Structure 1
Amino acid sequence: MDIATLKNANLNNITTAKTAYDTLITAFGQHSESWQHDVANRLGLYVWNGVGAEGAAAEITTITTKLENAKKELSFISRALADAAEGFAAAQSHLISALDDAAAKKFTVAADGTISWDKEPTSANYAGDKAEETAKELSRRITAALNEAAHADAEIEKRLGHLSQNGSNGTGLDSATVTKDGNDVAALDKAPAPGTDPNTVKTWWNSLTEAQQQRYILNHPDQVGNLDGIPVVARDQANRINLERSKHDLRLQLDHLGPEPKPLLGSVKGEPVSNPEYEEWHRKKKDLEEKLASIGTIESRLNGDKLKSRDGVPAYLMGFDTNGKGRALISVNNPDTADNVVTFVPGTTSRFATAGGDVDKADEMVKAARAADGGKTTAAIAWVGYDAPQSLPEAVADSYAENAEKDLARFQNGLRTTHEGGPSHNTIMGHSYGTVAVGFTMRDHKLPVDDVILVGSPGVGVDHARDLNIDPSHVYVARGSEDTLMHYAPATSLLFGLDPMDTGFGAHHLQAGDSDHSHYWVPRKVAVQEFGKVIAGTPGALK
């Protein structure tokens, strides 16, 4: 595919062909109906017995089935032509947009895609001081459009070639073949199931044209927004649509709660009897209001609210769910393009309603990593992606961490799968019970991470750093002098194994100063500065 071919392509020819096939399908359908009404049904009304009658009936049934199958095969050709027209139109639009922008910015694009420009600052056609950077972006857009068209071309050739072969050799009349072809077409409108391996998801996503991808984002955002293996930008687009829908749904639920029930049912022997419906009504109301407030906070950060702009660093909604305690996966900066990526797993009481505070921590880690190495880009993800315990009594259970393992492991693999260019430097970090979830996951799964940071940990399910399936020299622990959460436990044995702060555990100790259990991410605190160094891959001299 070259620039001239795509730019000058008359896409009306494909649309005309599709219209012709639609006309053919309509006519064929009418003939099939005539066959059914005038031949098959009429013969069925006659009383005809014997071997000849049975043979004729079987033959009529076979012909009817073949006619139905042929009509379906024709419809598959129409669908293939429609998809091709859509794919070529999108690619042509993207190419023309890039060429128009190039002309407007005083660049010349040659037939082979080479871009040139006037480098003389005093010239009326001077392309500017950042011309080289702009030219690279224009070249990327042109190449992407050509690749998009080539993909659409290869796809239509494959689909029409297959259907044409079915027509020429008669296999298109076979029910098994038609069923398979129908399933292949249906698969174009069905995303992989939740929990599918990220590599499989990526292969499926890349098999779609850009127009088909956009159709999924706009028409089926609920199917793709939470899928690991789909690029972050696409997930963000889908999830912003989902977020708006969820906000509307939560408001409806709040409106439909009805009037507040009376607090008491009466009294027994002078003692008031509370009304369970009153307690449940208030619980639901509080839950809905918290989730709506959290959506407002998330939207402010996503949309760059002045108070939440964080120096213009963008945020991406990688996933969320408002059911139950809810989940939220929000990244500060794009992990698909960042040099450094950290996934932060919060602990007890974390849920969708508290995600805003975890995003604030992610913002601080991005700033700290930039201070440690300003030449690289860092993405920090607040991964509220599991059902965390909501109280200290609940936080003694293994089950919350065990239930987080598959999702957290798949998410980490997904980050590697969708990352562009060379591998990023990836860190996984847990806080409080989040370290238990991280520890269990690393113990039972080989995660593609370079470093791990455990903050205020009650144990991680192993007694030595090497049992986390990573070189112990890349395991870092931190606990502030005011973090008293673990003071009730024995000196070396905590709830989930040996204290990671114990020298026998074999991890590096990060300075945490006087941080208490909840305030390691206070701006300019030594703890968050230390986190930034590890995240940026520049930990320096550590004790």
Structure 2
Amino acid sequence: MRRWNNRRNSRWNNRWNNRWKRTLTTVALAAAVVTGTAGWAAGNGQRPVTGPPPGSEAWRADTSLGRALPDPAHATPREVAAFFRTLTGAQQRGLAHRHPTVVGNLDGAPVALRYEANATALRRDARFAHLAGHGRRILAFDPRGRGQVAEVYGDLERSRHVAVVVPGSDIDAGTYDRPTDPYGTPAGMARQLRAAAKDTAVIAWAGYTTPVGVGLDAATGDLAEAGAARLTRLTDGLAAVDAPAPAVFCHSYGSVVCGLAAPRLKAGDLVVLGSPGMRAGTVAELDTTARVWAAKDPSDWISKVPNVQLLGLGHGTDPADPAFGARRVPAADAHGHTGYFAPGTQSLRTFAAIARGEAR
């Protein structure tokens, strides 16, 4: 009996030791994500911009129409759309002139009216007035924090297909369109996708507070949680104005945002590229009706990031791993972490086919 107990204790100790070693390994890998080994750089802690848009208090106090205006904090995009349908054109334009930062960010408001409101808001803003250029279609602009912006390439009101580009770290209203990084910003990605899929309206959506660098913020899901709520409202707003369900393209940390938003996201396709993980172990765990696609090129440094999730650190399984269950986007000829939308690549051609509903 004593010998049997010793053998049993020995087996138990071995299992415990193995489990403990695996735990320590996972902790070490997660720590590597945070501290900058495995190719990641240090970052600064960010506080997400949340809540209704600036100017909401004055909007709520406006009684010029003889009735309450929809509360930006609580009204759904469908309720907003229904409200604006009861107004004359003059009444709509009057609200946009008096409350441009509210109307410009109000999902469910008429698209052209939002463009007009945001042009007004941008002309009044010293930091971002350059975004009010002639012919630009700014769907959202929030000057708070580092600034957030969404720009439309194409005709959102008439296009048969719609796509949304969700960026990763280091993107805000000042950096979402960098000439020195033509394929690595949401504006650059949107332009390339629009050129490859000409009947598609593409939204470059820098609409959440992104991590700066890839330190602790990039290794956790806090900013992604806040971003997921804003992304969900965007797609709710598109549905409220009868736009087609979009294909959503999620780059790097943006794929964490998309993974958390997936169960509530009104999207036909969900495409992740250069992803550190989606906070899900498989496609089934995303609980989405959208088709899920994944791209990762061989030279992307994101492959060096450990695909772990422990104590809130890391983002889990690599979506490009066949075991995850996503559809594969060929990306062998893309280069680096920001080359997926480069002209002539297999990945861009496949993205265009997905956006147009032609990929299978």
Q: TM-score, normalized by length of structure 2? A: 0.74
Q: Which residue of 2 aligns with 1:431?
A: 251
Q: Distance in 1 between matches of 2:98 and 2:305?
A: 53
Q: Which residue of 2 aligns with 1:318?
A: 139
- The offset of 1:390, in angstroms, is 0.6
Q: Which residue of 2 aligns with 1:309?
A: none
2:239 pairs with 1:359: no
- The offset of 1:335, in angstroms, is 2.2
Q: Which residue of 2 aligns with 1:496?
A: 315
Match 1:392 to one of 201, 206, 214: 214
Q: Which residue of 1 aligns with 2:237?
A: 414
Q: What is the one-letter code of the residue matched to 2:203?
A: I
Q: Which residue of 1 aligns with 2:29?
A: none
C-alpha contact (below 8 Å) 1:492/1:502 kept by paired residues: no
Unmatched segments (≥5 aa) in structure 2: 1-61, 178-184
Identity fraction in percent: 28
Q: Distance in 1 between matches of 2:317 and 2:189?
A: 27
Q: TM-score, normalized by length of structure 1? A: 0.50
2:315 pairs with 1:487: no
User: What do residues 9-51 of structure 1 show as CA deviations (whole Å, max 9, x unaligned)?
Assistant: xxxxxxxxxxxxxxxxxxxxxxxxxxxxxxxxxxxxxxxxxxx
User: What do residues 365-421 of structure 1 show as CA deviations (whole Å, max 9, x unaligned)?
Assistant: 111123xxxxxx21110111110101111210110101112211111011011126x
C-alpha contact (below 8 Å) 1:459/1:498 kept by paired residues: yes
- The offset of 1:336, in angstroms, is 2.8
Q: Which residue of 2 aligns with 1:450?
A: 268
2:222 pairs with 1:402: no
Q: Any residues of structure 2 matched to 1:79-478 within 5 Å, and which?
A: 185-187=65-67, 190=69, 192-194=71-73, 196-247=75-126, 250=127, 292=128, 295-296=129-130, 298-300=131-133, 303=134, 315-356=136-177, 357-370=185-198, 377-393=199-215, 394-419=217-242, 424-442=244-262, 445-471=263-289, 474-478=291-295
Q: Distance in 2 between matches of 1:490 and 1:470?
A: 22
C-alpha contact (below 8 Å) 1:201/1:228 kept by paired residues: yes
Distance 1:526 1:467, change over 3 A: same
Most deviating of 483-492 and 337-346: 483-492
Distance 1:213 1:488, change over 3 A: closer
C-alpha contact (below 8 Å) 2:193/2:352 kept by paired residues: yes
Distance 1:492 1:505, change over 3 A: farther
Q: Distance in 2 between matches of 1:240 and 1:299?
A: 5
C-alpha contact (below 8 Å) 1:198/1:413 kept by paired residues: yes
Structure of higher CA gyration radius: 1
Q: Distance in 2 between matches of 1:222 and 1:417?
A: 20
- The offset of 1:219, in angstroms, is 2.4
Distance 1:210 1:500, change over 3 A: same
Q: Which residue of 2 aligns with 1:535?
A: 355
User: What do residues 208-257 of structure 1 show as CA deviations (whole Å, max 9, x unaligned)?
Assistant: 1111111112222222110000111110001000000013xx4xxxxxxx
C-alpha contact (below 8 Å) 1:226/1:318 kept by paired residues: yes
C-alpha contact (below 8 Å) 2:161/2:355 kept by paired residues: yes
For these two proteins, the number of residue pairs brought into alignment is 288
Q: Distance in 1 between matches of 2:71 and 2:66?
A: 12
Q: Distance in 1 between matches of 2:325 and 2:309?
A: 13
Q: Which residue of 1 aligns with 2:49?
A: none
Could you say which structure has the higher helix fraction? 1
Match 1:508 to one of 321, 327, 342: 327
Distance 1:185 1:237, change over 3 A: closer
Q: Distance in 2 between matches of 1:492 and 1:390?
A: 21
Distance 1:481 1:200, change over 3 A: same
**3-state SS in 1 of match to 2:294:** strand
Q: What is the one-letter code of the residue matched to 1:378?
A: T
